[in-house]
Structure 1
Amino acid sequence: MTTTPASPDPTMEAIGQAVVTGRAGDVLSARHKLLNLWSEIGVTGDPLHRCSLAHYLADLYDDPARALAWDVRALDAAVAVTEQRAQEHHASLHIAGFYPSLHLNLADDYRRLGSFNAATEHINTAQEHAPHLPQGAYGASLRTALDEMAEAISRRDITKRPSAPGPTA
């Protein structure tokens, strides 16, 4: 997600703060904060909030089965996010740009679980959506990760990829 919202959104700010906490190494605290926010948002809450929270929360689990559960929730919520809602959060944000990352994460979860057919389906879908990635460092890093993931799937490699977000093993 971006850091300059079009209008203040306390929930997105709280999600961002939890992400910073997790990236600083306090995974348990970040997970706790996000799970509490999930309880507040609810399963029928704002799809942008649900998508963002689930996407980041999945990164806080080393266990690919637990990450998969949250990555599925993120993708389910993304389907309900409208372009208007994405741009209300930030004018340069496009929901189509979410899909490469969401499918990459699902491909990674399935690959790590040894479900290579499902992993292949998701990496192919991620690559189909790759033209929607923004230019710049973020888009380039995701394009590289897509290539690395496709290669790992073809090798039937189930190890955690070094560039994966989340806690270190």
Structure 2
Amino acid sequence: MGRIELGLEGVRAAQHGRTAEARASFEALWEELGERDVFHRCVLAHYLADLQDDPRAELEWDRRALAAADSLTAERAATYESALQVRAFYPSLHLNLASDHLKLGEPDLAREQLERAVRSLDALPVDAYSAGIRAAVDELRQRLR
């Protein structure tokens, strides 16, 4: 129950623009989850990256999200949702890393991550979320030209 409360506190704080409070709740939850719960660590790191004020910290959280996804097996993901495909995480994860590198003035690394995002787009279903990811990939591609 403590984990759920920490997560809800973080979500409520983030929704109300209290990013420091959201970070604190999510970081406490991160510590509680431990190394074995890679699915939730992936999702949580993905959220924590977006709450960072420092682009280097954002990059580190996005790297943690990618590392967690890399260690998440399809079987483990299916225990959360039978239709969940780990492959579908990668376009967003690599897109975020590309954006991080661009913010840090590292366009070559940004292009490398963007290319990985592009190569993984086929894992996305056809839905509104995926359309948003594809649009964001196209937008970042334009910015990197």
Give the alignment's TM-score, normalised by structure 2. 0.90
Q: CA RMSD in A?
A: 2.0
Which one of the candidate residues 51, 59, 67 is aligned to 1:68? 59
Query: Distance between the aligned counterparts of 1:137 and 1:34, measured in 2?
Result: 27
Higher relative contact order (CA 8 A, sep 6+): 1
Give the total of aligned pairs. 145
Do the aligned partners of 1:64 and 1:109 also contact (CA within 8 Å) in 2?
yes
2:31 matches 1:39: yes
Query: Distance between the aligned counterparts of 1:121 and 1:76, measured in 2?
Result: 17
Do the aligned partners of 2:45 and 2:65 also contact (CA within 8 Å) in 1?
yes
Which one of the candidate residues 121, 125, 128 is aligned to 2:116? 125
Percent of aligned pairs with the same amino acid: 42
Query: Distance between the aligned counterparts of 1:129 and 1:10, measured in 2?
Result: 36
Q: Which ranges in structure 1 are unaligned for 5 or more consecutive residues? A: 1-8, 155-169
Which one of the candidate residues 81, 91, 101 is aligned to 1:100? 91
Q: Which ranges in structure 2 are unaligned for 5 or more consecutive residues? A: none
Tell me whether 126-135 or 14-23 shows the greater mean CA deviation. 14-23
Query: Distance between the aligned counterparts of 1:96 and 1:17, measured in 2?
Result: 29
Runs of 4+ deviating beyond 6 Å: none
1:3 aligned residue: none
Give the alignment's TM-score, normalised by structure 1. 0.78
What secondary structure is seen at the aligned counterpart in 2 of 1:114?
coil
Query: Distance between the aligned counterparts of 2:113 and 2:89, measured in 1?
Result: 13
